[in-house]
Structure 1
Amino acid sequence: MNVNSLTLTVLFHLIIAVGTLKSQTKKEVDLSKALKVGDSFIPPKAVQFMRGELKVIDWKALEDKVVILDFFDTYCGTCIELMPKLQKLQDKYADKVQIINVGWQDKQTLEKFYASNAYLKENHVNLPVIYADTYLKERFPHQGAPHVVFLYKGKIHAITFFRQVTAENILALYETGAINLPLKNDFGTVDLSADINMVKNLKTSIVITGYQDGVPMEAFSTRLDSVTGKFKTTMINRAIYRCIRLCTNKMKRADFFVPNDRVVWKVKNPRKYDDLDRVGESWLIENGICYERTDEVYRPDSIQARLVLNDLHNVLGIKTYYSTKNMKSVVLKRGAMRKSKAPKTGSGRIYENSRALAESIESSGFFPTAVDLVKSKDHIYIGSFNNLDELNDQLGPYGIVAVIEDQDIPVFVVEEVDQ
């Protein structure tokens, strides 16, 4: 199955009544000053900046280098995680690139942020930072950070995602003067069924396409289309598996956490359905889908999700369902009350019940899947642990013991169907 070549339209003629409205709105932003890829870059007359090795930000002098504007926020974990990578690229390719962080916060706030962030200190991050910016954000508006702009020779060559800031992309632009990267546009829109909406007396339509460049990712949502007066349910630029999980969670949430270890793939290539290797935008461009369903009537998400899931099953030739599988697991059982040797510190966590503890154990990465046979509703305090013995020591006062054994555990199955 080649998702990029898949564009399916199915029309159903139904007579149904219009229900109530459920809509989502985006924050209103003035896009009249926004610059686009291919435009000439109009630099600010002056900027306030701090840190870094530059004495002055001379945009004209920087035209012979690739200039990367990295818009960030101090409360954005991904932004902070990215900064050491940017610093390494700056250090290695200083003759070819100039990376500049751009923030909207004031100097005092940013000085306090850099002074108190041990992670950035340890990684010797010292890139120039434009602070209290309004001009650049007006030219490159966005709702989510990081937000990255590639400039070269006075032109805008890319407005893209943080994963695209690589040595390969910097060198490609520097050496060839051109580059084609995925477009990050937090205000992009797409009407997958624009042509279908012109069909007279249309009752229902279903459209599934591949990735749409320049359109922000969107989860399951239903809204009233003011033009057609019909309700549209959409999922935009998502992995097939993530679309399926969105639907199944809307229908009825699973009684268990569904990590990758609890997904059974009965398919030729699981990596066509989900970004298992966390590649990012390049994977999504190749394998992501957009879904849009038009209806005359509004239905609650729990009902609409079942229809959407059936559409995905029928169009993509798959079926998904819950089952069980025998797997080696950490099992929480009732045991004798025991004293703990571990000192109680403030670094632990209070779990609402034994199920919450089992889910945390499973997601910790230290152990395989976890099963709760205790079914306790009491709060459980557990500090840090690195192995089963350390965990069991802390479980002692609660009369709980964790053992590793084979269990039939719930799993989620994705299966391809012969058509």
Structure 2
Amino acid sequence: MKNIFCKGILSLVFTLVASTTSFAQNKSLKVGETLPENFWTTPLQVVNHPQKTISFNSDKNKLILLDFWATWCSACLKKFPEMEELKKKFSDKINIIAVTDQNRATIEKFFSSTNGQRYKSVLSVVDDKILHTMFPHTAVPFIVWIKDGKIINTTDGGQVNEQTIAEVLKNETSSLQTVIQIDRKRPLMLSENFELEKLSSIVGYSLFAKGRIRAIPFGSGFHRDGESVYGRQFTNFSLMNIYRGISYELFRQSGDKFSDKRLMNLTKNPEAIDFNTTTGGNFEKLYSIEYIVPKDEAINLYTRMLRYVNENSNYVASIEKKPVKCLVLRKTSNVDKMASKGGEPIGNILKSPFILRNVTLDFLLSALEATNDITTLPVIDETHYLGKVDLKFSSFQDLKSIQKELSAYDLELVEVVKELPMLVVKDKSY
């Protein structure tokens, strides 16, 4: 592994360690605050640069954008080429620098990979502790805007463009929307001052918002007490994805499994509540919800949460039994031809032959449910088989061939009509 510091330059090492120790003592900074002097002078480790360290000392008269990122953040990587073009466009007026707390070895390995080669011109601070302490955040990409020695804004990456940079450089009224990221561990949007109230505690809490909340990413969170979940968040989801998340838990509580094959979207405009949230746009159609119940009511969390979404949206979702076509997996004899012989568990559905070894039948059912390529029908297990199995299929792309090969294990996968619990979503005026 490469050393973090340049070898042989002992005085530089002592200087860096001393500066880092001093810097780490700084409190986190807020929009409008002036940067301390050692922000400009402290050496920072970098990659994709002739030197191992740089400082911001020569950038005092520029607009500086700190672009916090990570190798696993696809939105960060997607934005890199645009950031590089903006640096060229505004030349010596700005400096946009990527910042990550991942170590040098990890970042150098990434930039040498096939995917990372596309971004090898990106100068990045690595193994950072200093800037992350000064500008704490809960998600990336996160952009810190610095001008005239002050923090003028913090935003998400989507707001960095030619227009916003030009506005800031010309001291015009900025169209930037400040983003101060929210910690998922506490109730969303609730004032932090509430925690100072020693005689009060939250028993129940709810929030339902329409439109993108930039301060928190797409995702989900929980409030737990041990194994008990008494609160749930969904942020920047389509409304249908919120219904999916709630239904997954309600189906699980009843001993069933939810998939899109158990969904009936009967709304007049299905795309209004069910769309791809990762492609950008449709921000006004995103929803965020948080629902917290008293801890002794945790078992009813998702039932109450579903009712709450229905009450505050233009839709009604319910779980109803409906007669539907489905595939049922059954045993055709009392002979056990699929019992596992042991060994390391394997579930390989990406290659041929498709091998299941020392896993439950749930893996087979999940593979059939996961896509419409093999079947568009729900798949139900009526084997009542609880043990581990070994199964092998020459391929896993054609329903007829799968059915044929299942017969070797005295199993059948047959189409029937059954009454199944389904998630039914309708317009309120339906």
| Aligned-residue offset at 1:392 | 5.7
Q: Are positions 1:136 and 2:144 aligned together?
A: no
Contact 1:159–1:184 (8 Å) recurs in 2:
yes
CA distance in 2, matches of 1:243, 1:262: 15
1:351-407, Cα deviation, whole Å (9 max, x unpaired)? 733343122222245332441356344424568744446756765653446678887
| Aligned-residue offset at 1:139 | 1.7
Pick aligned residue for 1:417 from 388, 405, 428: 428
CA distance in 2, matches of 1:124, 1:409: 50
Contact 1:345–1:383 (8 Å) recurs in 2:
yes
1:73-100, Cα deviation, whole Å (9 max, x unpaired)? x5xx3x2x34652343245444137653
1:210 corresponds to: 209
CA distance in 2, matches of 1:142, 1:220: 19
Secondary structure of 2:44's aligned partner: coil
Show structure 1 runs of 5+ residues with no match: 1-29, 224-231
1:104-141, Cα deviation, whole Å (9 max, x unpaired)? 243234334544x44324x4544222122111101221
2:11 corresponds to: none
Contact 2:365–2:381 (8 Å) recurs in 1:
no
1:263 corresponds to: 263
CA distance in 1, matches of 2:259, 2:180: 28
| Aligned-residue offset at 1:47 | 0.8
Q: Name the count of aligned residue pairs.
A: 359
1:171 corresponds to: 162
Sort the Cα spacing of 1:329 and 1:134 in 2 relative to 1 into closer, same or farther, 3 A.
same
| TM-score, normalised by the number of residues in structure 2 | 0.62
CA distance in 2, matches of 1:67, 1:414: 44
Contact 1:69–1:100 (8 Å) recurs in 2:
yes
CA distance in 2, matches of 1:351, 1:362: 20
Sort the Cα spacing of 1:131 and 1:58 in 2 relative to 1 into closer, same or farther, 3 A.
same
| Amino acid aligned to 1:103 | T
Contact 2:48–2:121 (8 Å) recurs in 1:
yes
2:223 corresponds to: 221
Sort the Cα spacing of 1:32 and 1:57 in 2 relative to 1 into closer, same or farther, 3 A.
closer
Pick aligned residue for 2:368 from 361, 370, 385: 361
CA distance in 2, matches of 1:100, 1:347: 46
Pick aligned residue for 1:180 from 151, 156, 176: 176
1:107 corresponds to: 104
Show structure 2 runs of 5+ residues with no match: 1-23, 169-173, 338-348
| Amino acid aligned to 1:48 | Q
| Amino acid aligned to 1:47 | L
Pick aligned residue for 1:47 from 29, 37, 44: 44
1:273-327, Cα deviation, whole Å (9 max, x unpaired)? 45x221578656654244456x7x6424113443443344344464422235676
CA distance in 1, matches of 2:25, 2:402: 54
Contact 1:66–1:173 (8 Å) recurs in 2:
no
1:89 corresponds to: 82
Bigger Rg, structure 1 or 2: 2
Secondary structure of 1:277's aligned partner: coil
| Amino acid aligned to 1:354 | L
Secondary structure of 1:96's aligned partner: helix
Secondary structure of 1:33's aligned partner: coil
Pick aligned residue for 1:398 from 409, 418, 421: 409
2:287 corresponds to: 288
Secondary structure of 2:88's aligned partner: coil
How does 1:12-411 map onto structure 2 within 5 Å? 33-37=27-31, 39=33, 43-45=39-41, 46-51=43-48, 56=54, 58=56, 60-61=58-59, 64=62, 67-72=65-70, 77=72, 79=73, 81-82=74-75, 84-90=77-83, 92-96=85-89, 99-115=96-112, 117-121=113-117, 123=118, 125-144=120-139, 146-151=140-145, 153=147, 156=151, 159-161=154-156, 164=158, 169-177=160-168, 178-181=174-177, 183=179, 185-187=181-183, 190-191=189-190, 208-210=207-209, 214=215, 219=221, 221=223, 235=233, 237=235, 239=237, 240-245=239-244, 247-248=246-247, 251=250, 253=252, 255-271=255-271, 273=273, 276-279=275-278, 283=282, 286-291=285-290, 298-316=295-313, 318-323=315-320, 332=329, 350=357, 352-364=359-371, 366-367=373-374, 368-373=376-381, 375=383, 376-377=385-386, 378-379=388-389, 380=391, 385-388=396-399, 391=402, 395=406, 397-400=408-411, 410-411=421-422
| TM-score, normalised by the number of residues in structure 1 | 0.63
CA distance in 2, matches of 1:182, 1:270: 33
Secondary structure of 1:323's aligned partner: strand
CA RMSD of aligned residues (A): 5.0
CA distance in 2, matches of 1:396, 1:316: 48
CA distance in 2, matches of 1:111, 1:181: 33
Secondary structure of 1:172's aligned partner: helix
| Aligned-residue offset at 1:57 | 5.8
Contact 1:70–1:149 (8 Å) recurs in 2:
yes
